[in-house]
């Protein structure tokens, strides 16, 4: 055997095996990386969803609170309204009246609500507390009367 081995080929198979191992190892590593990334993305997206629905719940709560006022859309709407631990996210909701009169003279008692994650006493819209939900709600009511129904004029979610 050694007589036929004119060149020194010792270790050639081993080198091939090691090369094969390295290539397959790289493929496996990239596969794992892809799957891990997918699961991590899902976790992040779940967090975004929870923030959205927590803000949504906070705004719904604030709308109901304002509805209990004697003349919603006219008297100061109060707030900020704080909701703790909905979907694990504490929410702050601020409001402001946005009274309007239509061309036909019909009065619209609107209130604008903005919701963001709580961060101390920082107001919504700050760099650390971006607005998650902004909603404009119309309180249907006669002058100086409590609201009989609410209508969503606009509802934007900023994720």
Rounded to an integer, what distance in angstroms lies between the CA atom of residue 74 and that of residue 13? 86
Q: How many residues bind other proteins (CB under 8 A)?
A: 49
106: contact with other proteins by CB under 8 A: no
88, 116 Cβ separation under 8 angstroms:
no
Rg (C-alpha) for the chain, rounded Å, is: 31
The DSSP line for 23-39 is HHHHHHHHHHHHHHHHH
95, 66 Cβ separation under 8 angstroms:
yes
124, 114 Cβ separation under 8 angstroms:
yes
Mark the segment that binds other proteins (CB under 8 A) among 38-46, 73-81, 107-115, 122-130.
38-46
Q: Which is nearer to other proteins, 89 or 124 (CB)?
A: 89
Nearest approach, Cβ of residue 106 and other proteins (Å): 16
Q: Which of 35, 47, 130, 159 binds other proteins (CB under 8 A)?
A: 35
Nearest approach, Cβ of residue 115 and other proteins (Å): 12
**57-76: contacts with other proteins (CB under 8 A):** 57, 60-61, 63-65, 67-68
Containing 44, the helix (H) or strand (E) segment is helix 12-67
78: contact with other proteins by CB under 8 A: no
Structure tokens at 23: 């290539």
136: contact with other proteins by CB under 8 A: no
138, 108 Cβ separation under 8 angstroms:
yes
Structure tokens at 56: 């949504």
Nearest approach, Cβ of residue 132 and other proteins (Å): 14
The contact set with other proteins (CB under 8 A) reads 1-2, 5, 9-14, 16-18, 20-21, 24-25, 27-28, 31-32, 34-35, 38-39, 42, 45-46, 49-50, 53-54, 56-57, 60-61, 63-65, 67-68, 86-87, 146-152
């Amino acid at each position: 055997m050694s007589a036929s081995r004119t060149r020194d080929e010792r270790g050639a198979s081993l080198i091939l095996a090691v090369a094969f191992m390295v290539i397959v190892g790289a493929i496996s590593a990239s596969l794992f990386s892809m799957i891990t990334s997918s699961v991590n993305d899902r976790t992040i997206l779940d967090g975004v969803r929870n923030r959205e629905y927590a803000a949504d719940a906070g705004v719904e709560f604030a709308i109901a609170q304002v509805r209990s006022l004697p003349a919603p859309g006219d008297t100061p709407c109060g707030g900020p309204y704080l909701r703790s631990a909905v979907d694990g996210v504490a929410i702050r909701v601020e409001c402001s009246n946005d009274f309007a009169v239509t061309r036909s003279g019909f009065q619209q008692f609107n209130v604008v609500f903005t919701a963001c994650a709580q961060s101390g006493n920082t107001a919504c819209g700050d760099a650390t507390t971006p607005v998650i939900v902004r909603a404009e709600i119309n309180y249907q009511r006669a002058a100086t009367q409590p609201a009989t129904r609410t209508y969503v004029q606009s509802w934007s979610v900023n994720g």
